[in-house]
Amino acid sequence: MKKIISGKVREVYDLEDGRMVIVTTDRLSAFDVILPTLITDKGKVLNALSNFWFDYTKDIVKNHMISSDLKDMPAEFQKPEYEGRTILVKKLKMIPYEVIVRGYMFGSMYEAYKKGEPFLGHKFDKTYIQAEKLDEPIVTPSTKAAEGHDINVTLDYMKNDLGSELGEKIEKAALDVYKKCYEHAYRSGIIIADTKFEFGLDENGELVLADEVLTPDSSRFWDLSKYEPGSSPASYDKQFVRDWLKANGLAGDASIKEIPSDVVQKTSEIYKECQKKICGK
């Protein structure tokens, strides 16, 4: 067994037998800086949400989950600190794209729309206001960069690169997963405005959903009760920390020493509220 990734949030271990162990930590990154203070139970929330969605969408596309039971993992992980934040997964040949599904006119797409420009190959004939729901969600991939920032590309670019058959499978799977999960979240009081998925291929060349799924770190979650088109809706994610960093002139400051306990507690509560609404616990 060897650690192969130590990311902003996750630690990944290769068991060298076709399986991996992924540990989701309580780390939080904002403005490309991993903050020095952990957010209580954040990793457990992200893990619980991903596991819920993997099970909820397994009828649409296979996923990489093998087990979340520590007893199924090497002895090194059978310790209390790994409980609730660790999963055993199938190792895949990862597809080098993040697949972003956007259901609402927001962010960089809205900025392009206001200028009358197409957005990554998508043109909008209808008149939209900020944060308004699109008639149909769209897929906009981005390349996964080993260093630096990912690069947004058109859907056609990805299909030409991967081949139209695989590209279309990915597009359909991403849209089908988004739509099914959107309906569940909406009934639970959360709007999934957009999200990103990662896929891989198993030993038989079949498409498999991997990484994390529909968490506040990989998605834009809005509070349905406070949603109002034409404004920037309240979100269930690290925006509370980002706002505090900006208000204190610390955005992107790698020398920051500590996040105040009240900011940590509020952020933790936001993540837990999201889990409670979606998972029911």
Identify the pLDDT of residue 146: 61
Name the amino acid, one letter, at 138.
I
Instruction: Output Rg (C-alpha) for the chain, integer angstroms.
Output: 19
Which secondary structure element, helix H or strand E, spans residue 278, and what is its range?
A: helix 261-279
56-92 confidence digits (pLDDT tens) = 999 999 999 999 999 999 999 999 999 999 999 999 9
Cβ proximity of 188 and 276 under 8 Å: no
Cα 27 from Cα 175, distance rounded (Å): 29
238-275: per-residue pLDDT in tens? 888 999 999 999 999 999 999 999 999 999 999 999 99
Amino acid of residue 268: S
1-91 against 93-226: fold identical: no
Average pLDDT value for the chain: 95
Structural domain boundaries of the chain?
A: 1-91, 93-226
Q: What are the tens digits of pLDDT across the range 29-64?
A: 999 899 999 999 999 999 999 999 999 999 999 999
**Domain 1-91 adopts which CATH fold?**
Phosphorylase Kinase; domain 1 (3.30.200)
Q: How confident is the model at residue 199 (pLDDT cuts 50, 70, 90)?
A: very high
Query: Which conformational region is residue 22 in: left (phi greater than 0), alpha (psi within -120 to 50 degrees), or beta?
Result: beta
**CATH 3.30.470.20 for domain 93-226:** yes
Is the per-residue pLDDT at 27 higher than 70?
yes
Query: Taking residues 199-205, what's their average pLDDT?
Result: 97
* pTM of the entire predicted model: 0.93
Distance between CA atoms of 268 and 236, rounded to whole angstroms? 10
Of 7-21, 137-151, 219-233, the poorest mean pLDDT is in: 137-151
Q: What is the mean pLDDT of residues 213-241?
A: 92
